[in-house]
Structure 1
């Protein structure tokens, strides 16, 4: 006799949120990302009800490029978090740039309330190889899980996290575990049709 597994219960609020917004840099003359995925304006990103998804005492990890670093601080604050420090991903190759060759991206660590940091020896940088456009390194999940407690939510996910941690996902390119009012994704539309 086989035992039926019940579906995993998805939390409604999360202690740690990871977000990689599709920043629209076209107004700054930067192009290219729109060939890979839908972009969002800074105002639309700020309007996301992320504060409603976060526990009172929680962490936010917010990806940004060198060109969106200032915007990331504003987004974190509009979502109800206090930016604490950028964790810089040092890439193994030179990127493009109009002024300097970009070979870094940043994962801005932010807090809300009094969520404790579980590991206090993480440097503010890490090395990882570059893969296809916009794909973030798998190493991010180990770093986040070492520092921040779950349950975890990844916003703008493109694939399931390579982790055994308690991760839920939301995004345009993946079967999402949650819905965000006012921000429908394809899996929401599929649910409505069923």
Structure 2
């Protein structure tokens, strides 16, 4: 059973908020960069495989998609948004990464300028509404393990949007959320949570 079939069979539910952190694949152009490539940390997916996930089958007629993207594949992200049946609206969140070991902002790699912020794009389907006007776009939080996002993101999203909520490619579970992916409990201990919420652990289905 492939990813698409699993999603169709197991997710007999419609979500008003979909939060996704796709395992983007992009090529590194130096040996130094290769050591920090996502493929060293988890299995990546091709653009076509991400686009072909049947997200339209689990999205409510009025739904918001919040999707993380890394800068080199920004153009690909818009193709995914369209394939999933959404229309891009704005940058929902910008995560400015601080340094864990010293004061100031973290300095990443980059082929032109040295990177830091990471964007979470906001797209819509139908006519969803926000439930609060006070949620800020800028998130200033410490850099973490590769690809691990700030735990407080779930709280910000809950303040901004109504559920039901699902996190795609999740790496920890969250009470009140459904989670989907093959590493959904990887950071539960670090996040201080048990196995909470509904979840589908793909690794258990192999």
State how 1:40-79 maps to structure 2 within 5 Å.
40-79=45-84
| 3-state SS, counterpart of residue 142 of structure 2 | coil
1:169 counterpart SS class = strand
- The 2-side partners of 1:28 and 1:177 are apart by 37
Matches within 5 A, 1:1-194: 12-26=13-27, 31=34, 32-86=37-91, 87-92=93-98, 93-161=106-174, 164=175, 166-174=176-184, 177-178=199-200, 185-189=202-206
Superposition RMSD on alpha carbons, in Å? 2.0
Report the TM-score, using the length of structure 2 for normalisation: 0.77
Could you tell me how far 1:152 is from its partner in structure 2?
0.5
- Distance in 2 between residues matched to 1:143 and 1:69, nearest whole Å: 23
Contact 2:181/2:200 (<8 A) preserved: no
Distance 1:140 1:73 in 2: 22
Task: Measure how far apart 1:42 and its partner are.
Answer: 0.8
The 2-side partners of 1:56 and 1:137 are apart by 28
Q: 1:80-129 CA distances to partner (integer Å, 9 max, x unpaired)? A: 11111112111111111111111011111111111111122333322111
Can you list the C-alpha shifts for 1:8-65, whole angstroms capped at 9, x where unaligned?
xx86111111110000002877641101000001111000001111111111110111
Structure 2 unaligned blocks of 5 or more: 1-10, 99-105, 186-197
Say if 1:61 and 1:110, in contact at 8 Å, map to a contact too. Answer: yes
Q: Secondary structure at the match of 1:26?
A: coil
Q: Distance in 2 between matches of 1:48 and 1:55?
A: 16
Alignment partners' CA distance in 2, 1:82 and 1:119: 21
Give the count of matched residue pairs: 172
Q: Hey, what's the Cα distance between the residues in 1 that align with 2:205 and 2:160? A: 32
